[in-house]
Amino acid sequence: MATVEFAKGLEGVIVNTTQLSKVDGENGKLYYCGYTIEDLAENCNFEEVSFLLMHKRLPNKQELEEFDAQLKKERCLTPELEASIVLTPKKGHPMAVLQALVSMLAMHDDEIADKSIEAKERKAIRIIAKMPTVVTMFDALREGRPVVRPNKNLSHAANMLYMMTGRIPSDIEEKIFDKALILHMDHGCNASTFTARVVTSTEADIYTSVVAALGALSGPLHGGANEKVLQMLEKVKADEMEEYIDKKIENKEKIMGFGHRVYKVWDPRAIILRKLAVELTEKMGEGADKVDFAEKFAQYTLKRFAEIGKTNIYPNVDYFSGAVYACLGLPTDFFTPVFAISRVVGWVAHHYEQLVDNRIYRPKLYYNGAELGRKFERPDA
């Protein structure tokens, strides 16, 4: 059989063009519409960066106020959607709940078939605005707490923390959560974004594309990794840390939160989240022990990797994001939904960018199965 060259997992294959984000893995840089992620995280909020990705330019003061008002207006759910959450199995994972409810959002959207530019943006805003309400309401119901309704006086980041905890977050909590959301908004042609674009290329509606992307994000090798990181750090005892890491490396097993398909140096988002975790614990006066252990775990892992010549494996965005979310009081199984609540901005932006000059994705698979044309013989009973 002839040898056929192919890129497993489409690694390195350029499938389309984009003006949304650029990942420079060699130099550890991430850009949204030409701006560095450091610049945006330092100077903008969730609403501004959402507008940037959806319109490929930053908003002026009036545009930002109008965009913010639209997001706030769309936070509430209809009684029918709330009833659906009430009936959702309480043992379900929040990501599964998000998938189910985003599908239901489509059924309740009277503009589902409207392809005008104005309707497209309204649908995107509805999805972005309602996803935090869905997951926080589900969490309250499964824990037996009173449901906290959206507060239209709060920012997108502050409102989600408010709905999760029932209290207005402090300035530092709002600031850090807002920055964390910005960091996760878009990241080139990652698995979930590619999934959204593939589904979009069939001319499926925006809700269907987002539901598909949610499914891709739920996997432990993608968005689900941040849950696994915290579970790992909580499981390993301080006096067993080095032995645990040594055994993982010896057995050539993956250490959750380390390594990236693109970055060969520190993930720039991990560097920012690392600083945010320290700042948050210093201001809140708690959680410092967890962040300190995560730092020691990371440093010893990097030391061991260097000793065996693996000098291109560093902590990725999932490693420190779990520590930040835990300090903010978010349940572990909410880490990936929080990722989704941010990344959905990128998904909807890619959805509309894909449609501008659309061509359905149709790659090939190389067949290496049984002999072709073999004689049919029914197996004996």
Helix, strand, or coil here: 22?
strand
222 part of the active site: yes
Helix ranges (DSSP H) in the chain: 37-43, 46-55, 61-73, 79-86, 94-107, 117-143, 156-165, 171-183, 191-201, 206-217, 225-235, 241-250, 268-284, 288-307, 317-327, 335-356
Given 68, 318, 350, 351, which residue is catalytic? Answer: 318
Q: What is the DSSP letter of 258?
A: B
Q: What is the DSSP letter of 380?
A: P
114 part of the active site: no
**Ramachandran area for residue 230 (φ above 0: left; ψ -120 to 50: alpha; else beta):** alpha
How many whole angstroms separate alpha carbon 167 and alpha carbon 45? 21
**Residue 330 one-letter amino acid:** L
260 part of the active site: yes
Q: Residues near 373 by Cβ (< 8 Å), separated by ≥ 6? A: none
Residue 126 in tokens: 């509805």
Contact 263, 316 (CB under 8 A): yes
Given 184, 222, 350, 351, which residue is catalytic? Answer: 222
How many whole angstroms separate alpha carbon 302 and alpha carbon 314? 7
Most distant CA pair in the chain, distance = 75
Contact 55, 164 (CB under 8 A): no
Specify the residue for token string 């878009």. Answer: 186
Contact 335, 227 (CB under 8 A): yes
Instruction: Name the residue among 339, 256, 342 with its Cα closest to residue 294.
Output: 256
Instruction: Name the residue among 133, 121, 12, 182 with its Cα closest to residue 348.
Output: 121
Specify the residue for token string 């750090």. Answer: 233
How many whole angstroms separate alpha carbon 83 and alpha carbon 218? 24
Given 260, 267, 350, 351, which residue is catalytic? Answer: 260
Instruction: State the catalytic residues.
Output: 222, 260, 318
